[in-house]
């Protein structure tokens, strides 16, 4: 039998219910903060990611699914969402609409990574970008939306790690600082880092090779050379977080794996997955749109790894979502099957989720199935009930039953569904 490619996943029932519920919550919370959905292609011209994510990053260097199409054009399955959103923003002249714009997306991303828990080659992100606002308020708003989303899912144990990556003008100074700091140990760094030290010094702090990690553990962070304006910006963001009661901590080692960031960067870790499996990452990217050939429009955003998020969902949310919330309709022979189909349609039209027994099970077999699948209530109707214009509504948890008219079914259901 043919199996799925390594690093991909099938999301099948009952787990798929969790995904639907998480995504519905994202649509609801993000839209409530004024965000609009944007959908961009799953593949883009390779050049887009090289220019935005950065040539010297691991993502571009080692992890992209790049291929030539039939005309020999180099295309890449998107490794992340921000570059495509920025491109689409410019290409569709969204900058002609009032700024800022809050755009969100949910969809698959692709990175050729070594497989481990929470790390896949096809994974899904839920992301938000606020484009066209330079103020620290926008960074703080991003994190507020993020935490409202997490709270709606029942999380109460998450912390956001924050760092300041300074402005692009600060980078050459950081290169000098790092090179002088690492002078004596330079040749102990991996070949990649020796190259990074010249080309893109910040990336040295992102190296996963243990000897490089050990060597750079005590090097000064980017903040040592950050401009006063960038410091004031990030300090304002964190003071807003403090005032809002959002748990945050300063993490000077946080550099993020993408090159477009300036000033604020942040990540969210869950106690369950630990610091090496980040649930969400984001930050400010004020030069990205200009680097892609557009006007100078600032941006800030984040993306959540949905696969990782679903893995650590609070049990109460998961239990609520997976509870069987439909009414099981059990026709008992003769004309009742057709009546059942009509009843199913009527009930759905009135907002009652149903499952119609279509396999002709006996009452005993149907009740056994209801029990196994966790249905709380079933409606049973034989020819006798139909003749009298009633159905038997059975509450399997309470062990009670009543005869009601089909019209009453929706009324009873909807009344009980009210909180």
Query: Which residues form the interface with ligand HAM (CB under 6 A)?
Result: 80-82, 111, 113, 118-120, 123, 125, 127, 129, 257-258, 278-283, 301-303, 305, 307-308
The answer to whether the beta carbons of residues 142 and 310 sit under 8 Å apart is no
Please tell me whether 111 is known to bind a ligand: yes
82 known member of a binding site? yes
**Ordered alpha helix ranges (H), 350-405:** 363-373, 383-388
Least separation in angstroms between CB 284 and ligand HAM:
8
Whichever of 261 and 413 has its CB closer to ligand HAM, that residue is 261
Minimal distance in Å, beta carbon 190 to ligand HAM? 21
Q: Give the CA distances from residue 265 to residues 58, 131, 235, 354, in Å, rounded to whole numbers and listed in that order.
A: 18, 16, 12, 46
Residue number of the CB atom closest to ligand HAM:
305
CA 337 from chain centre, in angstroms, equals 42
Question: Cβ of residue 332: shortest distance to ligand HAM, in angstroms?
Answer: 49
- From 291, 259, 262, 252, select the one nearest 136 (Cα to Cα): 262
In angstroms, give the least distance from the CB of 17 to ligand HAM: 20
Closer CB to ligand HAM, 125 or 251, in the complex: 125
Residue 260 marked as a ligand binder: yes
Q: Are 270 and 310 in contact (CB under 8 A)?
A: no
Give the orientation angle of helix 136-152 with respect to helix 15-32, to 10 degrees: 140
Q: How far is the CB of 154 from ligand HAM (least distance, A)?
A: 18
According to the annotation, is 129 in a ligand binding site? Answer: yes
What is the CA 356 to chain-centroid distance, rounded?
A: 34
125 is in an annotated binding site: yes
Where do runs of H (alpha helix) occur along 95-223? Answer: 136-152, 171-181, 191-199, 210-216
User: 4 has which bridge partners?
Assistant: none
- 104 known ligand binder: no
User: Judged by CB, which is closer to ligand HAM: 82, or 216?
Assistant: 82
111 vs 287, beta carbon nearer ligand HAM: 111
Which CB, 294 or 325, lies closer to ligand HAM? Answer: 294
**Strand, coil or helix: what is 32?**
helix
* Residue set of the binding site for L-histidine: 80-82, 111, 125, 129, 256, 260-261
* Residue set of the binding site: 80-82, 111, 125, 129, 256, 260-261
């Amino acid at each position: 039998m043919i199996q799925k490619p390594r690093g991909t996943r099938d999301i099948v029932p009952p787990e798929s219910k969790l995904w639907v519920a998480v995504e519905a919550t994202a649509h609801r919370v993000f839209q409530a903060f004024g965000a609009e959905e944007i959908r961009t292609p799953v593949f883009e011209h390779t050049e887009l990611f090289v220019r935005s994510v950065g040539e010297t990053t691991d993502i571009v260097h080692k992890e992209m699914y790049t291929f030539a199409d039939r005309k020999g054009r180099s295309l890449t399955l998107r490794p992340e969402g921000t570059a495509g959103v920025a491109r689409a923003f410019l290409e569709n002249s969204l900058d002609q609409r009032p700024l800022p714009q809050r755009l969100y997306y949910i969809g698959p991303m692709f990175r050729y990574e070594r497989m481990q828990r929470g790390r896949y080659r096809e994974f899904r992100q839920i992301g938000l970008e606020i484009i066209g606002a330079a103020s620290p308020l926008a960074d703080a708003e991003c994190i507020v939306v993020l935490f409202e989303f997490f709270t709606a899912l029942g999380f109460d144990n998450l912390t956001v790690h924050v760092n300041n990556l300074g402005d692009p003008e600060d980078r050459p100074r950081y290169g000098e600082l790092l090179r002088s700091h690492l002078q004596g140990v330079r040749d102990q760094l991996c070949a990649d880092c020796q190259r990074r030290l010249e080309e893109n010094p910040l990336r040295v702090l992102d190296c996963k090779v243990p000897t490089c990690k050990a060597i750079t553990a005590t090097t000064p962070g980017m903040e040592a050379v950050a401009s006063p304006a960038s410091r004031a910006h990030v300090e304002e963001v964190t003071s807003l977080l403090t005032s809002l009661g959002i748990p945050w901590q300063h993490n000077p080692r946080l550099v993020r794996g993408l090159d477009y960031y300036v000033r604020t960067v942040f990540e969210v870790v869950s106690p369950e997955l630990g610091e090496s499996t980040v649930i969400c990452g984001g930050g400010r990217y004020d030069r990205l749109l200009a680097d892609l050939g557009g006007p100078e429009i600032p941006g800030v955003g984040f993306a959540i790894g949905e696969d990782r998020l679903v893995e650590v969902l609070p049990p109460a949310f998961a239990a609520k979502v997976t509870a069987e919330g439909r009414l099981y309709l059990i026709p008992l022979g003769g004309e009742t099957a057709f009546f059942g189909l009509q009843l199913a349609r009527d009930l759905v039209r009135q907002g009652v989720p149903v499952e119609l027994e279509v396999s002709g099970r006996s009452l005993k077999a149907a009740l056994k199935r209801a029990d196994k699948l966790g249905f709380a209530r079933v409606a049973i109707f034989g020819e006798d009930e139909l003749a009298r214009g009633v159905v038997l509504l059975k509450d399997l948890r309470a062990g009670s039953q009543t005869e009601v008219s089909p019209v009453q079914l929706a009324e009873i259901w909807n009344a009980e569904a009210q909180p």
